[in-house]
Structure 1
């Protein structure tokens, strides 16, 4: 019982600390993305620890309708340039659990990969000019730079919804339009499989 009380207290202190440092512009964001920035399945994606430049770009895309979302559009429109910067930097400062020993391409035996999602993530399908996801998003989808966000541990429903958004043309603005091209080559089964694969990457 004492351990449970201590653990609950630690979580409360952590949440309070995060709220204390939170800029006022981010107050509306945490209703869905939470003070941890880890979001909630079927509601909001994890954005904790993402590069501030990436987050700022996405907010601007919501403002300009390069990304179309009925909830995020009005939220983004409430922010001016300073608000976008402050909000992005705060979420970027939050801790994002990541795989401790991500497997790089070449470290996995292609013959041993049987899961459809893992195949797409690590091998792609070159017969369809479909490169692997990790070629851009990094080993196990840990994210690379300001343009390729983390996928490891991201909510499966969010990954799936974004791939479908690129297919439908309701999301754009990615580097050289790569994701729009790649998403259109995926079947519904493949989208679900790759989303489930990255969502279940073990992070610590």
Structure 2
């Protein structure tokens, strides 16, 4: 009996690929396979909401491509941070991809729309809406969008993040 083996080879390939796929929830809550890849939830909160008092940003709802890029930049040293660099370097590509995708699927906090023509109240609001052109600093909303809600993968939302 002459049975083609290619369908069986395809099945084994599919099984091996899925067996190597990273479990995003496990990596996020318990850490990666490398012990140096600490659990993301330790600093960024159980649902990616961040920990404002400690200065750890919200990750929930950010673009998956943006988070992948930041993790790659931390891992390579292109983005400096003494906490994130060793953790990002310890994550496998699959783990970083899985966690980025999982966090992107989480909801972002609701934010109020800001009227850019309103009177500004305080230096933070002034910087966000008007910039500090005497120091060559454009207004935050020019890049990060109306109300700081983000623009595509290049400019993440600032709204809903802590001021730390």
**Structures share fold, TM-score greater than 0.5:** yes
Structure 2 Cα separation of the partners of residues 147 and 32 of structure 1: 24
Cα distance, 1:56–1:156 mapped onto 2, change above 3 Å: same
CA contact (8 A) 1:62 1:73 kept: yes
Q: How does 1:1-204 map to 2 (within 5 A)?
A: 22-27=24-29, 28-40=39-51, 41-99=53-111, 101-103=112-114, 105=116, 108-109=117-118, 112-157=119-164
Deviation by residue 1:4-62 (Cα, 9 ceiling, x = unmatched) = xxxxxxxxxxxxxxxxx843322311111122101112152111100000000010111
Give the superposition deviation at 1:124: 1.3
Query: What count of residue pairs does the alignment treat as equivalent?
Result: 132
CA contact (8 A) 1:98 1:142 kept: no
Deviation by residue 1:33-92 (Cα, 9 ceiling, x = unmatched) = 122101112152111100000000010111111222222122111222211110100111
Q: Which secondary structure state, in structure 2, belongs to the residue aligned with residue 95 of structure 1?
A: coil
Structure 2 Cα separation of the partners of residues 145 and 30 of structure 1: 25
Runs of 5+ consecutive residues of structure 1 not aligned to the other structure: 1-20, 158-204
Runs of 5+ consecutive residues of structure 2 not aligned to the other structure: 1-22, 30-38
The higher radius of gyration belongs to 2
Q: Which secondary structure state, in structure 2, belongs to the residue aligned with residue 23 of structure 1?
A: helix
Structure 1 Cα separation of the partners of residues 149 and 103 of structure 2: 17
TM-score, length of structure 2 as denominator length? 0.72
